[in-house]
């Protein structure tokens, strides 16, 4: 293998750590991204030609989505309840998502700021199946940083 090339990171388990709530393990995590809106403005040249310039506009963060088999713990439910009851500022907190490989080694970490649970959902209940009930948590935040591990 050529020098400087490393294998891609594979995540086996994901841990959400929130300042006041502690931590929870998840099997699926997505939404680690940002996007800048594009502002276009036109400028006319000396010979009448039009130039279109593109500059970055408003920065927008993707919501983080986490999924796991539901547990009997109530911490995430209670966190969401704060928002439902109108206490969004009380619910806002900083947190970290850590990805571990199959050996339990920390591989990648993201920290978010002023996050709050904008959506909580449980999959349908089916007594005739063997599938676990899946809990989905969506976190809206105001900034994301990838930490060096």
pLDDT of amino acid 11: 75
Q: Report the distance separating Cα 20 and Cα 90, nearest Å.
A: 11
Q: What is the pLDDT of residue 64?
A: 97
Q: 109, exposed or middle or buried, with CB in 10 Å at 0-12, 13-18, 19+?
A: middle
Q: What pLDDT tens digit does each residue of the chain (149 aa) get?
A: 567 677 777 778 899 999 878 899 999 999 999 999 999 989 998 888 999 999 999 999 999 999 999 989 899 999 999 999 999 999 999 999 999 988 889 999 999 999 999 999 999 888 888 888 999 999 999 999 999 88
List of domains in the chain: 13-28+61-147 (2.30.110.20)
pTM of the model: 0.85
| Phi, psi dihedral angles at 75 (to 5 degrees) | -60, -50
């Amino acid at each position: 293998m050529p020098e400087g090339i490393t294998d891609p990171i594979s995540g086996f388990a994901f841990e959400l750590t929130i300042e006041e709530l502690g931590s929870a393990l998840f099997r699926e995590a997505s939404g680690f991204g940002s996007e800048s809106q594009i502002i276009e403005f036109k400028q006319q040249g000396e010979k009448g030609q039009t130039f279109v310039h593109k500059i970055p506009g408003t920065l927008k963060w993707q919501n983080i989505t986490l999924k796991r088999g539901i547990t009997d713990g109530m911490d995430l439910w209670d966190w969401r309840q704060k928002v439902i009851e109108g206490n969004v500022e009380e619910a806002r907190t900083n947190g970290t998502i850590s990805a571990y490989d199959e050996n339990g080694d920390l591989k990648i970490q993201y920290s978010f700021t002023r996050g709050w649970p904008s959506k909580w959902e449980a999959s349908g209940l089916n007594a005739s199946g063997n599938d676990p009930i899946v809990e989905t948590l969506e976190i809206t935040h105001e900034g994301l940083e990838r930490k060096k591990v």
